[in-house]
């Protein structure tokens, strides 16, 4: 274990931290909500908003563990603040000289994976971090890293807004000016929430929409349908388990991302492609006649067989057109039944639901 060094300009950093008057305050639901979102996006059981004081690490929010503070020397986040512009990611703390002997690594909660995004003051000092951690080794995908950075900026904005509220209480004579500033920060927060909402509707590996986004889009397409109802196709990679078993999960991820790229190129602007789960993808084609939808699926099937990835890849596709009176779930179930028929008939084919 390596004791975290003191950052440059430590006196100025501590003065910036004290300016926010947030240490030893009560827990806030707003901060807890951001930690919950960070944990969900990064798929970890533990997370926190930490602030690094002179000799301690204090938790403004802590989930998955109990406690109010730890010593600064044992704090992962005391290392994170040393690089204010960078995300600190530790895939396995046992293999990192900074943390291998840390009490939280060798004992409860046996931390292995850690990712922390610095919380910056308005004048650029790193005050602490928004962090997630797990008791098993892990990696952080690029979309997850981007989301964690976005959330850390949101925590910093929340601290700024909290400070503004305190200042408003003490400067009633300047009420109008501070009200305008507060509205400006709320507008920034609203924009950040919109960006975050978009990230929570995206699959982190492929960059496609996820099941949640697809469900909303399909319901909207059905509601807006005119004379031509939407078509839905479920795409499944044939023998994908063998790809993972023989070539490894890294190669399996390459297959998934390459297929996602094909889906994006063929259906961008003409519908939606989403990762439904595992090796299954769903294509939503609004206002698309059945014959045209079937042709598009056949073209997709042929395109996949030509992917330059060094592996013989094929897909099976089940296609269904929404019927009056049925739910979006019913349409997906008919497409899924057609997919199973395609597999039963030998795979690498498109089957239209009856």
Give me the domain span that covers residue 298: 211-352
Residues 184 and 46 in one domain: yes
When divided into structural domains, the chain yields a total of 2
What span, in angstroms and rounded, lies between the C-alpha atoms of 50 and 47? 10
> 123-163 pLDDT, tens per residue?
999 999 999 999 999 999 999 999 999 999 999 999 999 88
**DSSP conformation class of 116:** E
Pseudo-torsion of CA 259, 263, 265, 270, nearest 10°? 180
| pLDDT attached to residue 196 | 53
| pLDDT attached to residue 115 | 98
Residues 217 and 288 in one domain: yes
Residues 275 and 185 in one domain: no
| pLDDT attached to residue 177 | 65
Residue 162 belongs to a domain: yes
Residues 78 and 185 in one domain: yes
Burial of 115 (0-12, 13-18, 19+ CB in 10 A): buried
| pLDDT attached to residue 165 | 83
| pLDDT attached to residue 289 | 92
Which of 200, 220, 252 is the last residue before a domain boundary? 200
Residue 288 belongs to a domain: yes
Residues 64 and 187 in one domain: yes
Residues 31 and 152 in one domain: yes
Residues 223 and 190 in one domain: no
What span, in angstroms and rounded, lies between the C-alpha atoms of 89 and 106? 19
Which of 180, 200, 220 is the last residue before a domain boundary? 200
Which of 200, 220, 253 is the last residue before a domain boundary? 200
Specify whether 279 is catalytic. yes
Question: Residue-wise pLDDT tens for the chain (354 aa)?
Answer: 899 999 989 999 999 999 999 999 999 999 999 999 999 999 999 999 999 999 999 999 999 999 999 999 999 999 999 999 999 999 999 999 999 999 999 999 999 999 999 999 999 999 999 999 999 999 999 999 999 999 999 999 999 998 888 877 777 666 666 677 777 777 776 666 555 555 567 888 888 888 888 888 888 888 888 889 999 999 999 999 988 888 898 999 999 999 999 998 888 777 889 998 889 999 999 989 999 999 999 999 999 988 888 888 999 999 999 998 899 999 999 999 999 999 999 999 999 998
pTM, whole model, 2 decimals?
0.53
- 72 and 53 in contact (C-beta within 8 Å)? yes
Q: Which of 184, 198, 279, 345 is catalytic?
A: 279
Burial of 280-293, coded b for 16+ CB within 10 Å and e otherwise, reads: bbbbbbbbbebeeb
Residues 168 and 248 in one domain: no
Give the strands of the sheet with 272-277, arranged side by side. 272-277, 280-285, 231-237, 315-321, 350-352
Residues 50 and 166 in one domain: yes
- 48 and 111 in contact (C-beta within 8 Å)? no
Residue 29 belongs to a domain: yes
Residues 153 and 215 in one domain: no
């Amino acid at each position: 274990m390596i004791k975290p060094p003191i950052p440059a300009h430590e006196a100025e950093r501590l003065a910036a931290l004290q300016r926010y008057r947030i240490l030893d305050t009560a827990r806030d639901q707003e901060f807890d909500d951001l930690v919950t979102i960070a944990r969900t996006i990064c798929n970890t059981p533990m997370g926190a908003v930490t602030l690094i004081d002179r000799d301690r690490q204090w938790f403004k929010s802590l989930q998955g563990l109990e406690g109010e503070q730890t010593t600064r020397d044992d704090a992962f986040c005391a290392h994170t603040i040393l690089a204010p512009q960078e995300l600190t990611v530790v895939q396995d703390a046992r293999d990192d000289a900074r943390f291998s002997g840390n009490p939280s690594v060798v004992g409860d909660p046996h931390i292995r994976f850690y990712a922390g995004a610095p919380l910056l003051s308005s004048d650029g000092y790193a005050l602490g971090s928004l962090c997630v951690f797990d008791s098993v080794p892990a990696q952080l995908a690029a979309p997850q890293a981007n989301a964690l950075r976005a959330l850390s900026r949101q925590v910093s904005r929340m601290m700024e807004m909290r400070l503004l509220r305190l200042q408003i209480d003490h400067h009633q004579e300047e009420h109008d000016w501070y009200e305008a500033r507060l509205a400006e920060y709320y507008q920034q927060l609203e924009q950040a929430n919109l960006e975050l909402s978009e990230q929570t509707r995206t699959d982190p590996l492929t960059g496609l929409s996820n099941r949640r986004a697809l469900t909303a889009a399909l319901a909207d397409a059905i509601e807006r349908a005119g004379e031509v109802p939407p078509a839905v196709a479920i795409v499944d990679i044939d023998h994908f388990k063998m790809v993972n078993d023989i070539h490894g999960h890294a190669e399996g991820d390459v297959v998934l991302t390459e297929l996602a790229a094909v889906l994006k190129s063929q259906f961008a602007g003409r519908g939606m492609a989403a990762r439904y789960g595992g090796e299954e993808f769903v294509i939503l084609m609004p206002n698309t006649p059945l014959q045209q939808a079937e042709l598009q699926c056949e073209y997709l099937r042929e395109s996949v067989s030509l992917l330059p990835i060094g592996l013989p890849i094929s897909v099976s596709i089940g296609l269904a057109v929404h019927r009056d009176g049925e739910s979006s779930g019913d349409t997906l179930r008919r497409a899924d039944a057609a997919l199973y028929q395609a597999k039963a008939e030998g795979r690498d084919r498109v089957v239209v639901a009856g």
